[in-house]
């Protein structure tokens, strides 16, 4: 199996931004080069879910800043990386990782939530206000509780900081999806279907966050596979797993990479089931702070298939 080959019908979106030739085992996500929009969002809608988290009710809390439901992920050790027949080179070797306890957003950050940060004058608006097939998406009350898209890694990091949280590490993201067993998807080993994830363009665009209760992870986290790819904190290096520390890995340092790539996880509404494997890794350009602040490269790239969620260390 070749690594992360995207459907031909949307490869044209990346025609102006070809994938790097030095990393043939991964393919960059199509991105936008449009100037930042000025439209702001309306107030957030409280998110609820029919999923039943495995954690006790005392391990659930609501962020006072944006209304996000956060789930407590206990400290533990798990096996990270690809372990099925579809495993890829950059998912190898599978290795044990031990993490401290942390809080994870139950769903992806929504348009309404992100709009609060824009209204506060902290966050930039998304690079575009549309989604894949909706011209009026961000700022449209109809889509307040859908995942925000067209946000760069830089913007996602600013939002998480504003909300008192941070982007999750790759290891935290995978542990929140997998738990301490060796499942291939957040819900188990069964291939995705219309009840567990938004994928394969079955819907044709993003869906309301928390819509796939049967796709919950062992900790009750939702939408980790499908809907939108999610930015995580780590820089991308294809051989990082062979060098990673065993406790609370933070990803390669700036001196260990020769690019600005940041990792994205989880697949989107466009990908087939194999892309939704929880071990799957891909990337897109993150911020280049050596660029000028009025240049796109300073913030990095964005896409209609990429959003994010935040995490927070447990006290």
Q: What is the mean pLDDT of each run of 10 residues along the chain (315 residues)?
A: 37 34 37 40 38 58 98 98 96 97 98 98 98 98 98 98 98 97 97 97 97 98 98 98 96 94 98 96 96 95 98 93
Bridge partners (DSSP) listed for residue 102? 73, 313
Pairwise CA distance, residues 239 & 108, whole Å: 28
Count of helices and strands (H, E) across the chain:
5, 10
Q: What is the CATH number of domain 54-315?
A: 3.90.1580.10
Q: Which two tokens stand for residue 35?
A: 């100037």
Neighbours of 93 (CB within 10 A): 13
For residue 57, the model assigns a pLDDT of 54
Structure token digits, residue 92: 């190898």
The answer to whether the CB of 199 falls within 8 A of the CB of 207 is no
pLDDT of the residue at 47: 39
Per residue in 276-290, is it b (16+ CB within 10 Å) or e — as a string?
A: bbbbbbbbbbbbbee
Check residue 173 and give its pLDDT: 98
- Supply the pLDDT for residue 23: 30
CA-derived radius of gyration, the chain: 18
- Residue carrying the six token digits 């659930």: 60
Instruction: State the pLDDT at residue 58.
Output: 77
Q: Cβ(251)–Cβ(240) under 8 Å?
A: yes
């Amino acid at each position: 199996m070749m690594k992360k080959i995207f459907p031909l019908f949307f490869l044209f979106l990346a025609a102006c931004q070809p994938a790097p030739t030095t990393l043939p085992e991964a393919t960059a996500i199509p991105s936008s080069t449009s100037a930042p929009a000025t439209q702001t969002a309306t107030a957030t809608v409280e998110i609820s879910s029919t999923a039943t988290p495995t954690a006790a009710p005392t391990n659930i809390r609501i962020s006072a800043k944006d209304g996000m439901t956060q789930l407590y992920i206990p400290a533990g050790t798990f096996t990270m990386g690809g372990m099925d027949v579809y495993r890829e080179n950059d998912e190898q070797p599978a290795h044990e990782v031990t993490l401290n306890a942390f809080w994870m957003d139950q769903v992806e950050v929504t348009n309404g939530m992100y709009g609060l940060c824009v209204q506060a004058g902290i966050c930039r608006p998304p690079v575009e206000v549309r989604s894949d097939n909706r011209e009026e998406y961000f700022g449209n009350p109809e889509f307040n509780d859908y995942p925000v898209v067209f946000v760069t890694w830089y913007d996602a990091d600013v939002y998480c900081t504003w909300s008192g949280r941070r982007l999750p590490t790759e290891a935290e993201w995978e542990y929140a999806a997998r738990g301490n067993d060796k499942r291939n998807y957040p819900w188990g080993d069964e291939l995705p279907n219309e009840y567990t994830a938004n994928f394969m363009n079955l819907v044709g665009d993003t869906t309301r966050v928390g819509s796939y209760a049967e796709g919950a992870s062992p900790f009750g986290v939702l939408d980790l596979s499908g809907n939108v790819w999610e930015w995580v904190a780590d820089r991308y290096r294809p051989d990082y797993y062979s060098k990673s520390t065993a406790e609370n890995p933070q990803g390669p340092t700036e001196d260990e990479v020769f690019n600005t790539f940041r990792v994205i996880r989880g697949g989107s509404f466009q990908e087939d089931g194999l892309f939704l494997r929880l071990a799957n890794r891909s990337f897109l350009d993150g911020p280049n702070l050596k660029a000028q602040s009025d240049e796109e490269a300073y913030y990095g790239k964005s896409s209609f298939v990429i959003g994010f969620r935040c995490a927070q260390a447990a006290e």
